[in-house]
């Protein structure tokens, strides 16, 4: 059973993802950092190359996932990897191994690596009008392998803004000692290594019951409905992994009630961040779509639906066609909405008076 937790961070530019992704490999044992564009499937998993220098045979070269076995791999700019390369990670993410069959070499290498991936949304910034889940270019099958997914939105907030800026200013002063964390990364790395080695916590009956109830209850809400299934067995396993991790970091040998509750809290947060309401299994519009009035939101949604409908028949759509369809729905300010969608890169103008979906 897989014990490694995979986490995905998708967020607005300058929300500190790269900083975090670079830091984490320093505070966990066997951590490595790689970044987007330069990452290929072969570089991540394994590759077979011809050895010209010595024996002239084929040699097996381990990729980053294999080299970070029993450790952690940070992958920055995840969305910039090609889909084929992302898909090559499937096996490593779930089975914890990498298989390769090329030339005369057939091998399976261990790759029990935790992955911390970070990337930007499709339109470089989250669009408050569309569910966040739709703004991520990562295939669903891969997405579901991440135990926790966080959407980091850069929302101005004078209080936290002030704190962050003060911190950055302070770190440039001569007395920057105050900004150095109390625990050194070396110490944390040792602590994590110790916890990993010594703690193999067992689930208590109480913790088991809490996780089971949460899973059954959440699924029950979606019973019989055609809506998206809020959680699957993958997430249940993720809940167990996170509970265990919570016990381990406290050097505990049992997974208590509190650990299970913490796992549920994290899972709920992660589901909500992607706009899924764990209570109803429905897309939680308010949380997914930020601070626009619901009437504006639904007008944009209606216009998008109209465009989607026509797009299935033809690519280039005459503006008048959208206007008349929207008027039937009682929407007058179509041009304004279309302008907005164009600005956000959802639509473009192939020729004057026409729009097309990107």
Ligand X SMILES: Nc1ncnc2c1ncn2[C@@H]1O[C@H](COP(=O)(O)OP(=O)(O)O)[C@@H](O)[C@H]1O
Provide the binding-site residues for Mg ion, judged by CB under 5 A: 18
- We find the least distance from the C-beta atom of residue 190 to Mg ion, in angstroms, to be 28
Long-range contacts of 347-350 (CB under 8 A, 24+ apart): 347/307, 350/315, 350/316
In terms of residues, how long is the chain? 358
- Interacting residue with ligand X among 3, 16, 36, 43 (CB under 6 A): 16
Compare residues 151 and 239 and give the one whose CB is closer to Mg ion.
151
Task: Give the span between the Cα atoms of 3 and 193, in whole angstroms.
Answer: 15
Choose among ligand X, Mg ion, none what residue 86 binds, the Cβ cut-off being 5 to 8 Å by kind: none
Compare residues 103 and 164 and give the one whose CB is closer to ligand X.
164
Compare residues 150 and 215 and give the one whose CB is closer to ligand X.
150
Per the rule left: phi > 0, alpha: psi between -120 and 50, beta: everything else, 173 is beta
E-only strand ranges, 263-328: 317-318
Task: Give the span between the Cα atoms of 69 and 73, in whole angstroms.
Answer: 9
Choose among ligand X, Mg ion, none what residue 57 binds, the Cβ cut-off being 5 to 8 Å by kind: none
Three-state secondary structure readout of 212-273: HHHHHHHHHHCCCCCCCCCCCHHHHHHHHHHHHHHHHHCCCCEECHHHHHHHHHHHHHHHHH
122 binds ligand X, rule: CB under 6 A? no
Compare residues 154 and 336 and give the one whose CB is closer to Mg ion.
154
- We find the least distance from the C-beta atom of residue 77 to ligand X, in angstroms, to be 8
Long-range contacts of 176-181 (CB under 8 A, 24+ apart): none
Choose among ligand X, Mg ion, none what residue 128 binds, the Cβ cut-off being 5 to 8 Å by kind: none
18 binds ligand X, rule: CB under 6 A? yes
345 binds ligand X, rule: CB under 6 A? no
Contact between residue 150 and residue 7 where contact means Cβ atoms under 8 Å apart: yes
- Interacting residue with ligand X among 101, 168, 183, 216 (CB under 6 A): 168
- We find the least distance from the C-beta atom of residue 179 to ligand X, in angstroms, to be 10
119 binds ligand X, rule: CB under 6 A? no
Task: Give the span between the Cα atoms of 182 and 160, in whole angstroms.
Answer: 21
179 binds ligand X, rule: CB under 6 A? no
> Site size for ligand X, by CB under 6 A?
11
How is residue 24 written in tokens? 């984490």
19 binds ligand X, rule: CB under 6 A? yes
181 binds ligand X, rule: CB under 6 A? no
Contacting positions for ligand X (CB under 6 A)? 11, 13-19, 164, 167-168
């Amino acid at each position: 059973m897989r014990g490694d937790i995979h986490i995905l961070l998708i967020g607005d530019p300058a929300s500190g993802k790269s900083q975090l992704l670079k830091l984490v490999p320093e505070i966990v044992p066997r951590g490595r950092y790689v970044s987007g564009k330069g990452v290929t499937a072969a570089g991540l998993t394994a590759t077979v190359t011809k050895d010209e220098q010595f024996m002239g045979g084929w040699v097996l070269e381990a990729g980053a996932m294999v080299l970070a076995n029993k450790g952690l791999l940070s992958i920055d700019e995840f969305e910039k990897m090609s889909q084929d390369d992302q898909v090559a990670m499937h096996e490593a993410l779930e089975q914890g191994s990498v298989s390769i069959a090329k030339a005369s070499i057939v091998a399976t290498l261990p790759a029990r690596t935790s992955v911390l991936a970070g990337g930007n949304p499709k339109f470089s910034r989250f669009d408050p009008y569309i569910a966040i889940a739709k703004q991520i270019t990562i295939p669903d099958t891969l997405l579901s392998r991440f135990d926790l997914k966080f959407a980091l939105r850069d929302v101005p907030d004078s209080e936290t803004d002030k704190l962050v800026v003060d911190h950055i200013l302070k770190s440039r002063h001569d007395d920057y000692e105050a900004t150095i964390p109390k625990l050194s990364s070396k110490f944390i790395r040792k602590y994590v290594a110790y916890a990993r080695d010594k703690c193999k916590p067992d689930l208590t009956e109480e913790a088991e019951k809490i996780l089971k109830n949460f899973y059954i209850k959440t699924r029950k809400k979606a019973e019989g409905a055609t809506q998206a299934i809020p959680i699957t067995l993958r997430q249940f396993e993720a809940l167990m992994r996170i509970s265990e991790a919570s016990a381990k970091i406290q050097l505990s040998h049992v997974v208590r009630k509190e650990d299970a509750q913490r796992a549920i809290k994290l899972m709920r947060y992660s589901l909500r961040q992607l706009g899924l309401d764990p209570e109803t299994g429905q897309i939680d519009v308010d949380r997914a779509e930020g601070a626009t009035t619901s009437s504006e939101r639904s007008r944009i949604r209606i216009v998008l639906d109209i465009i989607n409908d026509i797009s299935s028949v033809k690519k280039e759509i005459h503006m008048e066609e959208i206007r008349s369809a929207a008027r039937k729905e009682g929407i007058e300010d179509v041009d304004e909405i279309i302008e907005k969608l164009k600005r956000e890169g959802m639509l473009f103008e192939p020729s004057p008076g026409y729009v097309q979906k990107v």
